[in-house]
C-alpha cells in the first residue's frame, strides 16, 4: 500500500514492476527474520512473558510492516520522481520539508495499515504464546 500511495503522491508512472518487486520481497524477508529472532527464538527458549511476546510482535509489525516499507517506498519513488521530472525540484536548503509536504496525505493514509499491523501483532503474539504454552504443557508432565 505504501508504494501505491507514494507513487500517486509523486505522480510516478515508470518502473512499476521494479519498485513493486523490491517493496514486497524486502519487507517480507525482514519481517520473517526479525520475528524469528525476537519472538520465536525467545518463545522456544522459554524466557519470555506473554506481555513481552505481544509487545515484541506488535513492534515488529509496526517497524517491519509499516515503517520500513513506507521509508523504502518514499525513497524509491522520490528517486524516480526526480529522475523522470514528475515533481518540481525542491528549493535549496528545504529538501526534506518539500518532500514531506508533497506526500503529506500519503503519510496520513498510512495510519490505517499502522493500526492493522498493531492489532494483528497483538493477535499473532497471543496466538504464538498460547501455542508455545500448549507445547510445553505436553512435553513437561505435571508432577
Every domain of the chain and the residues it spans: 2-139
Per residue of the chain (143 residues), what is the pLDDT tens digit? 777 877 777 788 888 887 888 888 999 999 999 999 999 999 999 889 999 999 999 999 999 999 998 888 888 888 888 888 888 877 788 888 888 888 888 788 888 999 999 999 999 999 999 999 998 888 777 65
d(C-alpha 53, C-alpha 56), whole Å: 5
d(C-alpha 48, C-alpha 108), whole Å: 34
Q: The whole model's pTM is what?
A: 0.81
Amino acid at each position: 500500500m505504501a508504494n501505491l500511495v507514494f507513487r500517486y503522491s509523486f505522480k510516478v508512472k515508470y518502473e512499476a514492476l521494479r519498485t513493486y518487486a523490491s517493496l514486497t520481497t524486502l519487507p517480507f524477508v525482514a519481517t520473517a527474520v526479525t520475528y524469528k529472532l525476537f519472538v520465536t527464538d525467545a518463545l522456544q527458549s522459554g524466557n519470555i512473558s506473554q506481555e513481552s511476546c505481544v509487545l515484541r510482535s506488535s513492534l515488529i509489525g509496526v517497524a517491519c510492516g509499516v515503517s520500513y516499507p513506507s521509508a523504502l517506498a518514499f525513497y524509491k519513488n522520490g528517486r524516480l520522481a526526480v529522475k523522470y521530472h514528475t515533481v518540481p525540484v525542491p528549493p535549496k536548503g528545504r529538501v526534506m520539508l518539500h518532500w514531506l509536504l508533497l506526500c503529506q496525505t500519503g503519510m496520513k493514509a498510512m495510519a490505517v495499515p499502522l493500526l492493522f499491523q498493531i492489532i494483528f501483532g497483538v493477535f499473532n503474539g497471543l496466538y504464538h504464546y498460547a501455542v508455545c504454552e500448549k507445547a510445553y504443557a505436553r512435553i513437561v508432565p505435571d508432577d
